[in-house]
Amino acid sequence: MPAHAESKMTIVALGDSTTAGTPAFRSPVEDPPNGSGNEQSQYAYWMMQRHPEWKVLNRGVNGERSDQILRRFDADVLPLHPQVLIVLAGVNDLYQGEQPDRIETQLKKIYDRAAQGKIFVVACTIIPYNRMGSSVRARMKEVNEWIRSYSTEHQLGLCDLFHAVEDPAHPYTLSGTPDGLHPDVNGYRAMGEALTHFLEQHFASLPQGGNS
């Protein structure tokens, strides 16, 4: 991708409820054609506040596991021809008791599908929710460590959204939440700002005429 391409580009936000904007917003996938609710309750909104020239398309669906998100790839990503794909998935897998290796396999398939379409991937660490048991915490830590290492090894983008929303005084809990499971508006704003900062830094680091 040319270094100047960040001035106008299409970004697809692919994921579950924490992409959709639950509980205060329903994504365009959930409530076509434009979604409904408090638009500030989605990280895509905050990215476009900073960069109105970016088109950040919310393709999150509440409650979906990573395998279900993967099955939507051809319908919800490819027809949009994005330059960038943000992937935030896996928390529902963990909630439902899935093991890290299965989640990692599904995430890798999503990343690979994007690579086949020549789409730059921003892999995001899974964000916490309140009152997680020790088993979920351990499995989340393992998957997030895998996301960090895999992204580095395979030259994907990486945005650590876990730490963007974690309460520093209470590890593995959200800094603000209306329901104990999802970020509040301030949390979604923090996610959007973290992603925006990452993309700004990424494009600034590219040589003129270089590729992502």
In a domain? residue 124 = yes
Per-run averaged pLDDT (10 residues), the chain, 212 residues? 59 98 97 97 97 97 98 96 97 96 98 96 97 94 98 96 96 96 98 97 78 50
pLDDT, residue 2, reads 36
Domains in the chain: how many in total? Answer: 1
pLDDT value of position 208: 66
| Rounded distance between C-alpha atoms, residue 23 and residue 157, angstroms | 27
pLDDT at 206: 84
Decide if 165 is inside a domain: yes
Written as one letter, the residue type at 117 is: G
Q: Looking at the domain assignment, is residue 182 inside a domain?
A: yes
Q: Which domain holds residue 189?
A: 3-205
Q: Is residue 212 part of a domain?
A: no
- pLDDT given for residue 6 in this prediction: 54
Residue 127 lies in a domain: yes
CATH number, residue 184 = 3.40.50.1110
pLDDT at 4: 41
Instruction: Judge contact between 52 and 197, C-beta under 8 A.
Output: no
Residue 62 covered by a domain:
yes
Note whether 212 and 3 are within 8 A (CB).
Answer: no
In a domain, 211, yes or no: no
Residue 76, in any domain of the structure = yes
DSSP 122: E
